[in-house]
């Protein structure tokens, strides 16, 4: 399938390049409008209704603008030469994907269960060989 893309993609790029502004604009509009309020409660105050309606949309707009600002900063202030510019994006993505996990672990402080220290370990050569072979396969496929 990859050789077909080598033949197909240059033609697709030629067709879509003049219209990329409109394509990206449509995708951005869809993303922002998908944050439109759903199931907004009706209160007596018009101001409360307004704030309730714009709460989700405002968070979506702020997220969009901050991610765009981060993209400009990362691409303009790269730490590596311009030939390898996309390598500066990788640490940013790794950090951004790690932040929710860290926040979740900070908020949900759990108790570590009491550990059991056995007096002896019951192993036979069959288990040792299976574990060694499994570790070998995991390392072999990863390399």
What are the pLDDT digits (tens) for 76-130?
A: 777 766 676 667 777 788 888 888 888 888 888 778 888 888 888 888 999 999 9
Q: Give residue 84's pLDDT.
A: 66
Q: What is the pLDDT of residues 34-71, one digit of tens each?
A: 777 766 667 777 787 778 778 778 888 888 899 889 88
Q: Please report where in the chains the tokens 């018009």 appear, as a residue.
A: 46
Q: What total of structural domains would you count in the chain?
A: 1
Residue 71 lies in a domain: yes
Residue 62 lies in a domain: yes
Residue 127 lies in a domain: no
Say how far apart CA 88 and CA 84 lie, in whole Å: 8
Say how far apart CA 58 and CA 60 lie, in whole Å: 5
Q: At what angle do helices 46-76 and 89-107 cross, to 10 degrees?
A: 140
Residue 143: strand, helix, or coil: coil
Give me the domain span that covers residue 70.
40-107
């Amino acid at each position: 399938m990859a050789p077909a893309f080598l033949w197909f993609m240059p033609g697709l790029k030629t067709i879509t390049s003049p219209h990329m502004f409109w394509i990206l604009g449509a995708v951005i509009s869809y993303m922002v409008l998908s944050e439109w309020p759903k199931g907004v409660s009706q209160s007596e105050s018009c101001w409360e209704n307004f704030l309730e309606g714009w709460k989700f949309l405002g968070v979506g707009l702020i997220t969009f603008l901050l991610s765009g600002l981060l993209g400009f900063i990362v691409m303009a202030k790269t730490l590596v030469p311009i030939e390898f510019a996309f390598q500066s994006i990788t640490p940013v993505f790794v950090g951004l994907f790690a932040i929710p996990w860290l926040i979740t672990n900070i908020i949900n402080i759990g108790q570590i269960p009491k550990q059991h220290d056995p007096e002896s370990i019951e192993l036979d050569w069959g288990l040792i060989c299976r574990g060694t072979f499994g570790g070998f396969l995991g390392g072999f496929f990863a390399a």
